[in-house]
Structure 1
Amino acid sequence: MDEDLDQMTREQLIDEVRKLRQGIRQHRDSSGHELCWHHPALWALLPEKTDPLPVVPDWPEFIRGCIKYRQSLDEQASDAPRTDVPYDE
């Protein structure tokens, strides 16, 4: 799957690592309502050019998953600052 790496020069590999790190940092630095979004830009950093269509749960299951995710933030990031900024399109 990653055979393309075998053909890259040292400089190309360094460029690739920098590109991937930037994508990871951008995703990592998501905050607030950005945490809930579909992130195809992150997957676009991979060499295989595919944009898989996600399987989306029905609304009740989707909302249960959102609640579970938010609860996990309380457990895993209990010291993270909180905000009451409303979602704004």
Structure 2
Amino acid sequence: MDEDLKGMTREELISEVTALREAIRQHRDCSGHDLCWHHPQLWALLPDTSDLAPVVPEWPEFMRGCIRYRQSLDEQLPNAPRTHAPYRE
């Protein structure tokens, strides 16, 4: 799957790692409402493509997942700053 890496020069590998690190940082630095979004630009950095559409849970299951995710943030980051900022498109 990652055979393309074997043919890359040192400079190409450094460029690839730099692009991947930047994408990971952008994803990591998401905050507030941006935590809830689908991030296909991150997956687009992979050399292999996928035509698979994500399986989207029905609303009740989806909302349970959102609530559980938010609860996990309380557990894992109990001292993180909180916001009352509304969602804006």
Q: Same fold (TM over 0.5)?
A: yes
TM-score with structure 2 setting the length: 0.97
2:66 alignment partner in structure 1: 66
**Gaps in structure 1 of 5+ consecutive residues:** none
1:4 alignment partner in structure 2: 4
TM-score with structure 1 setting the length: 0.97
- Total equivalences in the alignment: 89
Q: What RMSD, in angstroms, separates the aligned Cα atoms of the two structures?
A: 0.8
Percent identity over paired residues: 72
CA distance in structure 2 between the partners assigned to 1:27 and 1:61 by the alignment: 24
* Cα deviations by residue, 1:33-89 (Å, 9 ceiling, x for unpaired): 000000000000100122521000010000000000000000001111000000011
Change (3 A) 1:80 1:51: farther
Greater relative contact order (Cα < 8 A, sep 6+): 2
CA distance in structure 2 between the partners assigned to 1:47 and 1:80 by the alignment: 35
**Gaps in structure 2 of 5+ consecutive residues:** none
